[in-house]
Amino acid sequence: MTLAQYQLAEQLEQALGNPHQVESLMSFQRTAELDEAEQFPHDEIAWLYSWGLQNYYIPTECGGKFTSFEEFVAFVRVLARRDLNISIAFTTLFWSFLTWMAGSDEQKQTLSQLMSEDHTAMCLAYSEREHGSDLVGGGVTATKVAGGYLLNGEKWPINRATISGVTYVLARTDPDGGNRGLSLFMVEKQYLEPSQYYNLPKIKTHGIRAADMSGIGFSDCFIPDRMLLGPEGHGLELGLKGFQITRALCAAFSQGAADTTMRTTLNFAVNRQLYGKTVIDMPHARRTLTNAFVDMLICDCVNIGAARGFHVATDQFSVWSAVDKYFVPVTLEQVMKETSVVLGSRFYMRDEHDSGVFQKALRDSAIISMFDGSSVVNLHALILQRRQLAKARLRIRQKPDQLAALKVRLAQSFSLDQSLPPFEPNRLELFSRGADDVMQGLESTLADLEAWQGSGQSMSSQPVNQAVLSQVIELGKVILEEINAQDALITQSAFEHGHDQSFESFELAKQYCHLHAAIACILMWMHNRNHEDMQGFFAEGEWLVLSLHRLLSRFRRSLTPPPSTYYENVAQELLQLHQADKMFSIVPFQLAQRSRAPAIAAPCLVT
C-alpha cells in the first residue's frame, strides 16, 4: 500500500501514462519535438489544468486541495521526470504562496478563482538586467499617486513573463528607504492599460528551450492600491520568505530529471551487449550507477525531510531551505554527468536512444541551481547564520527541556507516518536565530542508537543488523567530530561582513550542507525502518552506510570502505525498481508501466 501522501503522485502518473510511449501526452518524443521547435507547451499545460492539478497549489482554507509540501514535491517529481520545461512552466503557480502568505482575504479569494476557474498562471518579476540577484539595488519604481501607483522600469529575465496573467513585481516605493523601501505587488495584467506595459523578446536558452523566458517593462503603468501585497515597505522581507518556500520545492525538479536520466541509462545498460556481457554487468558501470542511486537516496532524505519540516520547523527554513536548494540540485547535476559515462556516445545523440531524453534532461536541469537564488546565494545565506548556529549547539546541550522538544519535532519531520500540522507561513523568519534541529539533534540521535546497541535488543519490532548499526554509529561519530571542529573554527574566526565572505567560508558552508544531509539520512532511517511500507531494502540500512560513507569521504579519505556486498545489494534494488517501473526513491511508488496505453483524450478532475 502506498503512503497516503504519495497517492496523488501515483494517480497523476497513471493518468499521464508512460513517457516512453509515443501516444502519451507528455511522451519523450513529444517533449523533444517541443524543445526542437522552442514551442511553449500550451496543450500540455491545458491538460494539467483540466485534470485539476492547479487546485493542489491552493490551500484548503482558500478553496483548494493543498495539504502538505511532501505531497507537493512528490507530484512535481512526476511532472519533472517527463519534461522539466512543462513542469517548470506549470509550477510557476507555486508563487501563489506569496499571496497565501501575505495577501488580504480579497486577494486570496481573487487568486484562488483565477487559478482554479480561469487557469491563470503567474510569474515572479524580481531580477533586472543590470542588477541580477541584487534585489535592493533594483531600478523598477512604484510611485504613489491617487488611488494607486505608477510602475516604471524593466524586469528581466523572467520565466513566463509573457504567458501569464499575474505578475508579482518587486518595486521601490521609497527612494530613501533602503531595505524597507521595496514593496511587492500582485499585478493582474488583465486590468493594465496595454499601452503602459510591454513584454521583452523571448530569450534563447541552452535548456528549457520551449519556455517563455522573457521579461516585462512598465512605462507609467497605473496599478490600483488593491494590488499592493502586504504592507508598503515589506516587499523585500516577503520576497525572501517566499524564496524559502520555493527553494526547497525546486529540488523536486532535479529529482524528477535524475530519475529519468537513471532510467534511460538503465534501459541501455541492461540490454546492451559488449565484450560478451551486458553493460550493467561490467564492474565500473555497475558501481557508477550504484553510487548514483545512493546519491539519489541521500537527496530523497534531504528533500522529503525538508518538505515535512516546512510544517514542523517553519521558523528554521532560512537554514533548511538553503541547504536543500544548494545540496540537491548540485548533487543530482553531478549524478547526471557521472551517469552519462555509462550511456556512452548515445548520451550525446538527439534521437538514437529514448528520443535523446538524457541530454535534454541534463541541459534543462542546469538552470535549477540558478532558480530562486543561485548556489552562491544559498551558501551566502548559510554563512551569515553560521556563527549563531555554532553557538546555539553549545547552548542546547545544557537545556534538557529544549532538547526534548527538539526530538519531538525531528520525529514529526522525519516519520512519514506521522500527520503534519497545517503550514503556517507567518512563522517563517528571515533568520533562524541559531536553530537547526537536524544538526542540533545529532548527539541525542547517536545516544539513542548507542542505547539500542548496548541493550542488545532490536531498535523496534523489526530486527536490525548489528553490523549495520555499529557502522552507522561509527560514521555518526565522525559527523559529530566534523561538526564540532567546524563550529570551533567558526566561533574563533573573525566575522566577515556583507558580501566579503572568503572562499574558505563558502567551502565551510558546503561542508555544512553535506553534514546536514548525512544526519537527515540517519533520521529518515531511524524514524521509518519500522514502517510496513518501508521494510526490506530500506529498513536493512546498507544503503545508509553507503550514503554516510559517500558524504563523509570528502572529509576523510581514510574511512574504512563498506563491504562489497552492500554495493551489490543496493545495485540489485536499483535493478528491481527499474524492472518494476517504480520511482528511484526511499518511497518507491508505482510509475506508469510501458505496457499500459494511457487514456489522454478525456482528462478527469481528481477528487
Phi, psi angles (nearest 5°) of residue 23:
-75, -10
Do 212 and 332 belong to one domain?
Answer: no
Could you tell me which residue, 279 or 496, shows the higher pLDDT?
A: 279
Rounded Cα–Cα distance for residues 539 and 528 (Å)? 8
Domain end, chosen from 169, 194, 229, is at: 229
Mean pLDDT of the chain: 93
The predicted model gives 173-202 an average pLDDT of: 96
Phi, psi angles (nearest 5°) of residue 169:
-110, 125
**pLDDT for residue 396:** 77
Do 354 and 479 belong to one domain?
Answer: yes
Rounded Cα–Cα distance for residues 305 and 478 (Å)? 22
pLDDT at 600 over 60: no
pLDDT tens digits, residue range 299-355?
A: 999 999 999 999 999 999 999 999 999 999 999 999 999 999 999 888 888 788 899
Rounded Cα–Cα distance for residues 34 and 247 (Å)? 27
- As given in the structure block, the three cell numbers for residue 453 are 546497541
Rounded Cα–Cα distance for residues 592 and 587 (Å)? 16
Do 575 and 531 belong to one domain?
Answer: yes
Do 224 and 245 belong to one domain?
Answer: no
pLDDT tens digits, residue range 399-440?
A: 778 889 999 999 999 999 999 999 999 999 999 989 999 999
Whole-angstrom CA distances from 71 to 5, 7, 109 are 5, 8, 23
Q: Which domain holds residue 66?
A: 4-116
Residue 178: count other Cβ atoms within 10 Å of its Cβ: 12
Do 373 and 484 belong to one domain?
Answer: yes
Do 458 and 569 belong to one domain?
Answer: yes
Instruction: Determine what percent of the chain falls in helix, strand and coil, rounding each to the nearest 5.
Output: 60, 10, 30
pLDDT tens digits, residue range 333-345?
A: 999 999 999 998 8
- Residue 374 confidence class, pLDDT cut points 50, 70, 90: confident
Rounded Cα–Cα distance for residues 338 and 342 (Å)? 8
Do 208 and 60 belong to one domain?
Answer: no
Do 374 and 254 belong to one domain?
Answer: yes
Do 243 and 276 belong to one domain?
Answer: yes
